[in-house]
Amino acid sequence: MPKIQWDRLPRAKWAHLRDRAKERQISEGDLFDLAEWKAQDPDVPDGDWFKDFGTFKLCATGKYPSTFPLPGQVARGRRL
């Protein structure tokens, strides 16, 4: 299984994630939870998946994070 690729994300992808975090009003504490999970270097599946942190979700495809969906929006893929 692949690992999440954070270090080599294209600049446009970083900008998208940053903008969505602001729009979704993801708190600093929530981002800290994401950072703690990321530090565990978890395995992720190929294909679409999402991680539900309770107050927000991270959606991704394979090793690449893609977006933070709106609250109540259905996330596609395998739930981690």
Q: What is the pLDDT of residues 52-66, one digit of tens each?
A: 998 999 999 999 999
Which tokens sit at 11? 């600049």
Q: Is residue 5 assigned to a domain?
A: no
Beta carbons within 8 Å of 50's beta carbon, 6+ residues apart:
57, 58, 59, 60, 69, 75, 76, 77, 78, 79, 80
pLDDT for 49? 96
Q: Is the pLDDT of residue 29 over 90?
A: yes
| pTM (2 d.p.) | 0.87
Q: Is the pLDDT of residue 30 over 90?
A: yes
Q: Is residue 54 assigned to a domain?
A: yes
How many domains does the chain divide into? 1
pLDDT for 6? 84
Domain that holds residue 39: 11-79
Q: Is residue 43 assigned to a domain?
A: yes
Q: Is residue 22 assigned to a domain?
A: yes
Q: Is residue 4 assigned to a domain?
A: no
Q: Is residue 32 assigned to a domain?
A: yes
